[in-house]
A and B are shown apart, each in its own frame.
Chain A
Amino acid sequence: MSDFMETFDRLRDEKRFAEVIAAVPYARLMGVECGEDANGELLFSLPFYERNVGNTTLPALHGGLIGGFLENAALLHLMWNRESLEAPKIVDFSLDYLRSGKAQTLHAQCEITKQGKRVAHVLIEAWQEDRKKPVAVARAHFLLSTGS
């Protein structure tokens, strides 16, 4: 178990969301925020920042940034909801873009569809004003054990 996972474990127990995000440099660079919804499920948010734009004339968030935000959400969601302190490794990530990301806060929530011994499957959904109108949906596979 790495120092990072020990730190993560402590931050999780104490629900220090901001510090969890701060521990991941790229999540901090994107400007990700994290908290819990009314049901105690993790909810990720990304306030609009000009530095995240990918189309300056619309303007719209960069597709790659949306991907990174969702992938990060999936990884943290999985780590948050697992007992094991081995960091999952992403195997593949598939993303469907449904609407352009406007100059507004982007939200994401995840669902662990399957958690096996070796592999976990996570669904991720991103939306802005209306959850029924997703900006993107994604799925990811994670390797849970290094097999060594």
Chain B
Amino acid sequence: MSHADAANPEVLKAMGELFVSLPHCRTLGFEYLGTVGRKPTLKVDWREDLVGNPASGVVHGGVITSIVDTTSAVSVAANMHDYETIATLDLRIDYLKAATPGKAIYCTAECYRMASQIAFTRAVCYHDSPDDPIAHGVATFMRGSNPKPMLQVEDKP
């Protein structure tokens, strides 16, 4: 896993690992595959209990929302110079086409503007290539959203 291009590689590594280890992300089975440039990629395998439409076997849109939210948060971490707490302010998902049952879903995100208080992100979800997306998401995050750090000092590497 490369974190070399991150604003602070150590922060990205720790936050990337933290975000996929959160209980909800573990429940869904998210995997952090790494970051290229400052664009992280996460993966979620198809699972019967993630299905939203039992007639088709297509994964629930909520899983897409969660992976977009999480990958976008990691993309913000790739632009952090030091540890900070962030919170999603808003999120929009466009469902471009139905996901294919049985196939893993990948999400790649980028933080295209890191302003002093707000971070702006965009993300795509896909099976085989980001050029053939199943969903597109944009989000904004509040920076320094809580004085209580998401990573406890003793957890920091």
Contact = CB atoms under 8 A, between A and B. Distances in A.
Nearest to B149: A57
Contacts, number: 137
Interface string B18-46: 00001111110000000000000000000
A94 interface: yes
A71 interface: yes
A56 B24 CA distance: 10
B24 A53 contact: yes
Given A67-B62, A71-B62, A71-B65, A92 B92 contact: yes
B54 A72 contact: no
State the majority secondary structure of interface residues on B: mixed
A65 B24 contact: yes
Question: For this complex, into which size category does the number of interface residues on chain B fall?
Answer: 35 or more
A50 B27 CA distance: 10
Interface residues of A, number: 43
Interface of B: 22-27, 48-55, 59-63, 65-70, 87-95, 98, 146, 148-150, 152
